[in-house]
Structure 1
């Protein structure tokens, strides 16, 4: 059995990023320990005496000077608390529930206005004991992502903080039995469904806990409710919404291709939802996630979403694409027939607070999640809890997630296809020749056992302590490989360049060969990185572990606690910079599964001019983790070209594309080792 092993380096010096170098407060190790302890057994009372004392005795209104807003947010939250208007503890929480989201964001607002770390922790301890657990976890995670005080903090893996949202109810029940009988246990977790269901072949992807975590952390980095009053603009947020979800859909399609399944079909509001789904997952409080049988017709969700509104909103969006402009709330027109149009379109489709006309274009994506999540009980007759589609942590488990996003992705493609193909001048990088690309090492995948803790899933009696309980699940991984690239810079001076790497299918599931035009929209972005080209020959070697689309596994909660506690006790620091970004595809999912007999694919590499890009030094030193689909916190998106360039627009004549000396393609084979 392979478990996550984390090597942690200790040092007496902690180096903050340069723009936060004047930080004056507790050490990093101390702050990380505070967060660990606040999130440990979050459904129980605080387990640590110092924080418990703060929770019992702290008065959030005693010193309003500790808040940058004069305490307005904390006074608002305390008024809601005293008036008994907040969601009770031990109740399910969904970000798609308007009132529950409002409550979580009031607490987020409090954290964002805390001037010091101590004020943050005092308020966190106080409200942790008084607010709904789900609202608290969401608020603290979102705040740590977006506040300067949280910079560098490693967010403990959500699948160990709130394991009910990631583990099947069968293993949760076994963990409870083990706790009651005081018998430690490791329990094999199976994927949902049976072999009678073709979707079972790709359940390992949609139910991968690392992929689930990427989905929720992306939406933490780019929340649809974000307001720029919190200090900065989320640059190209709408385009990032398109690109990150496009890549999820593409990866799902290639996993289907690996398993001899056709690319996923989009759903339609006026047709049945062909695939049902039984989550085999339960809320910690509130019962099982509702199931959905096959071939359910879309039905209005009473008081929340009407099917006809979805059709109307989509029609208005498609009209905007056909007309080439969006109508803003003030009646003005916003052109979308340029490289910025995709950003505006993403904002109205999601819909985010950045939408220029929320009333007119609605919230197609967000309300579709609610609509799909409630089809098991659309009238509320049985008072069922929200479905898996109403949580970012669980949404990708449902095959309907990918059918929905294929539908949305096709709307984006409709827009992209209205734009003219790139010209040779736009594609070229004058004086730069990509001579050779060589993959060093086999492109081989395999399944491994992964173990994660269920301790936070079960209650325990302090008198008897707790026992080790964990789940073991199969997960996809790949052998390490390197991409070696030879580039000649025929210019007389250095050139800043960005290298773009795509992995594209060659055929569909029936073996029908795909043209470059048909394949381009189904290409996986493997990597994108910046480099400096000196005059003459340049040899570049890029390891698969360096891919800017991915992140490494976060340390387990147990190992994170142990490493940080040791550093605090010793008065030293702990270096966890490698894990300070949660957003990103797990590196082990960089490659699709492939086939035992081998899945033939095309590797396309391009080298483009990066002179207009920002953050050269940061990106060339690979300090910005997973920036390709997650951007750089608080900064402008570093690539001035459209995401997916040059495969984002139609290719009417592939000869133009491949005649450019700065692009090259080669055939590769992805092979899966072993059975599953």
Structure 2
């Protein structure tokens, strides 16, 4: 065979592998890479969504949308499907059984859930935008506001033809759960007219609210450079007064910089919104794996923060002075105890009894998966107290991660989950060790964290009447909360690998403590990616901004509205979908706070596995699980930590341990 032909064949093989890598490697914010410019039809939809969501907790004041929302669309031909859920909503209407506007909404309560499902179908099944818009206006007028928002959020997440519309982040739509009571109280009491008078009289310096001059918002490095020097920001915000309310510096609290971070809290909210109300019924096993993996990652990240703060982190105990009542604490403890007993019994007997009395032999076929499904549901409905009629911080999606006891309960849940899988999960279907390759060296750029000032939009806390002049909607000012959050400097990891042939591998990078028994330490996955290795030495550099599943900062509610207004006046070419994916993890939180007096010592674990050409792409970063979950291969989500591992599994040429140090510096020191 001619040598030239062999060379050409190898080159074709390399090109084919590279194309496979490029095709299957998710790009951060990949919706943002397609900068198609919007038209007036899109802009009208976007403006409507922002106006209907403005002060969603208060009665609607916008006359145009009030007039449109007097009747729900009853013509069945205007819906793709007209199902029993939609007929049930008419029964609620005719008998006056809609949830009142002023009642606490709990989506886990059966009655509330059923009404949510009914309204969701009236949104989701519409054929035309005009029908959906009228139904939204009707619901905004007549439906409990929290229930309305829940059903609308689900529709926007799950209707692919409407996913291009930008929804403000949940902590801007409902700011109250994401901030301190003091901050919310001061914002809600703010009287703009009185504040103006104080400014004119020269007594404005006594106010907690200050006019931002020169006009700007932090941070400046938004997705799409929408606050940068070359943007249209000054034009869009030219007639808006930016007001700043000084917030408590949560970074001064022991763990406040993590568990009080609005991005950290919202991440869990969106994950559970994505899991709920699935219409296309994808493989439930994939979603369960993904949900427990994300919960385990949240727990691992929290434990790493405790480790860095020199607090107990290996097994977490419930604090008696938590946010929950004694009855709730006992309820959750009993549920977890029942689960743990169920797992212990399954392991001891190698069987599981179904509710109908059937006994499953968990060693036979795929019965272990049936047992997993019965023991470990992945929704939060079973955690609720029966008929809870008032907010419960520990069980509210908005506030769960603010409560230290949440992590204690999650610790027990994940321990039981991993115990079950350790006993019953069969051997992996694919090889987990690449052949003929080794990780030679890993170089990590300095890991530096710092506290960064940031503005969070509180405009929806202000009274809605401040935004209407002679019955016309206006947005003349924006109230922002200035607070500090954890941030890190961008860094890169460089991998040196040897291979005796051309092959594709998946590199997974985990952050953990400086030592200890493997199954007692938290392993937080920083990144995983697909790459191609060529025969010989390979140098691969991975930037932190490219880490899988992470996102940067986005445009605020106020700015979004004024950019849309500018585009409607044809003074700005508005790009589509310029916000960040809602189910992406805040990139600024991937590292725990570093040490100040001396660096915090930790380790990286790098793990290589073969690529078996069975990857699948999903849209879970956008909270859309209708087509399943992305995966590199057939390994479970969270591999190898979906179960307890044997120490020797993390040894060999396909693994590498690297000691690292994290330093925490001052903001001015970092920026200078």
TM-score by length of 2: 0.77
Match of 1:447 in 2: 451
Counterpart contact for 1:427–1:646, Cα < 8 Å = no
Match of 2:512 among 493, 504, 507: 504
- Structure 1 unaligned blocks of 5 or more: 1-7, 15-24, 268-272, 278-290, 354-364, 375-383, 507-512
Gaps of 5+ in 2: 1-31, 196-208, 211-243, 668-672
CA offsets per residue over residues 535-581 of structure 1, 9 Å max, x none?
A: 44443222111111322233211122222333344298633546352
Pairs within 5 Å for 1:305-320: 311-320=337-346
1:477-496 to structure 2, matched below 5 A, reads 477-491=487-501, 493=502, 495-496=503-504
Q: Does 1:276 align with 2:321?
A: yes
Q: Tell me what 1:396 maps to.
A: 401
Instruction: Provide the residue aligned with 1:17 in structure 2.
Output: none
Match of 2:216 in 1: none
Pairing 1:468–2:483 present: no
Deviation at 1:158, TM superposition (A): 0.8
Q: Using the alignment, how far apart are the partners of 1:181 and 1:230 within structure 2?
A: 51
Deviation at 1:662, TM superposition (A): 2.1
3-state SS of the aligned residue for 1:261? coil
* Residues in 2 aligned to 1:219 and 1:547: alpha-carbon distance in whole angstroms: 22
Shift of 1:586: 0.8
Does 2:218 correspond to 1:173?
A: no
Q: Pick from 190, 206, 217: which aligns with 2:248? A: 190
**Counterpart position of 1:368:** 383
Separation (CA, whole Å) in 1 of partners of 2:298 and 2:368 = 18
Distance 2:338 2:36 in 1: 60
Give CA deviations for 1:463-495 in whole Å, capped at 9, x if unaligned.
59775323222211111011222333422x5x3
Is the CA contact 2:511–2:525 (under 8 Å) kept in the aligned structure 1? yes
- 2:86–2:122 CA contact under 8 A, matched in 1: yes
CA shift in 2, pair 1:95/1:563, >3 Å: same
CA distance in 2, matches of 1:333, 1:496: 44
1:124 counterpart residue number:
136
Is 1:52 the counterpart of 2:66? The answer is yes
In 2, Cα distance between equivalents of 1:266 and 1:369: 21
Q: 1:133 aligns with which of 131, 145, 153?
A: 145
Question: How do 1:510-659 and structure 2 match up within 5 A?
Answer: 513-519=515-521, 522-570=522-570, 574-577=574-577, 579=579, 581-596=581-596, 597-615=598-616, 626=621, 634-639=627-632, 640-654=634-648, 657-659=650-652
- Cα drift, residue 248 of structure 1: 0.8
What is the SS of the residue equivalent to 1:471? strand
Q: Distance in 2 between matches of 1:115 and 1:274?
A: 51
Q: Aligned with 1:171: secondary structure?
A: helix
Match of 2:416 among 411, 432, 435: 411
The one of 391, 398, 402 aligned to 1:386? 391
What secondary structure is seen at the aligned counterpart in 2 of 1:603? strand
In the TM superposition, what is the alpha-carbon distance from 1:155 to its structure 2 partner?
2.5
Once the two structures are superposed, residues 69-113 of structure 1 have per-residue CA deviations (whole angstroms, 9 ceiling, x without a partner) of: 236544432331232211111333222332222222211122221
Decide whether the 8 Å contact of 1:433 with 1:488 is kept in 2: yes
Residues 256-305 of structure 1 deviation map (CA, whole Å, 9 limit, x = unaligned): 111111116445xxxxx53424xxxxxxxxxxxxx558xx57676xxxx6
Deviation at 1:428, TM superposition (A): 1.2
Q: Do 1:188 and 1:471's aligned partners in 2 also have CA atoms closer than 8 Å? A: yes
* SS of the residue 1:601 aligns to: strand
Question: Counterpart in 1 of 2:18?
Answer: none
Q: Which of 268, 276, 299 lines up with 1:215 in the alignment?
A: 268
SS at match of 1:122: helix
Give the match for residue 672 of structure 1. Answer: 664
In the TM superposition, residue 246 of structure 1 has moved relative to its aligned partner by 0.7
Q: CA deviation at 1:118?
A: 2.6
Q: In structure 1, what is the Cα distance between the partners aligned to 2:178 and 2:136? A: 25
Q: Give the Cα–Cα distance (whole angstroms) in 2 for the partners of residues 181 and 651 of structure 1.
A: 63
- Measured at CA, do residues 26 and 566 of structure 1 come closer, stay the same or move farther in structure 2, by a change above 3 Å? closer
Distance in 1 between residues matched to 2:394 and 2:320, nearest whole Å: 14
How many Å separate the matches in 2 of 1:111 and 1:170? 37
SS of structure 2 residue aligned to 1:563: helix
Question: 1:488 touches 1:536 (CA, 8 Å); kept in 2?
Answer: yes
8 A contact 2:510–2:526 mirrored in 1:
yes
Distance 1:131 1:76 in 2: 15
Q: 2: distance between equivalents of 1:187 and 1:28?
A: 34
CA–CA distance in structure 1, aligned partners of residues 361 and 566 of structure 2: 56
DSSP 3-state at the match of 2:69: helix
**Cα distance in 2 between the residues matched to 1:48 and 1:40:** 10
Does the alignment pair 1:152 with 2:164?
A: yes
2:259–2:401 contact (8 Å) kept in structure 1: yes
The CA distance in 1 between the partners of 2:591 and 2:451, in whole Å, is: 12
Aligned residues of 1:217 and 1:583 also touching (Cα < 8 A): yes
The CA deviation at 1:140 is: 0.7
Aligned twin of 1:108: 120
1:602–1:665: 8 Å Cα contact kept in structure 2?
A: yes
Report the Cα offset of residue 421 of structure 1. 10
Distance 1:32 1:337, change over 3 A: farther
Measured against aligned partners, the alpha-carbon deviations of 1:98-156 in whole angstroms (never above 9, x if no partner) come to: 22222222111222211233322221111111101000111111111112232233331
- 1:636 Cα deviation from its structure 2 partner: 4.3
- Secondary structure at 1:84's aligned position in 2? coil
Change (3 A) 1:124 1:434: same
The 8 Å contact of residues 499 and 536 in structure 2, kept in 1 or not, is answered as yes
In structure 2, the residue matched to 1:238 is 288
- Give the secondary structure class of the aligned counterpart of 1:644: coil
Match of 1:663 among 627, 631, 655: 655
C-alpha spacing 1:299/1:201, structure 2 compared with 1 (3 Å): closer
RMSD: 3.7
Match of 1:379 in 2: none
TM-score (norm 1): 0.77
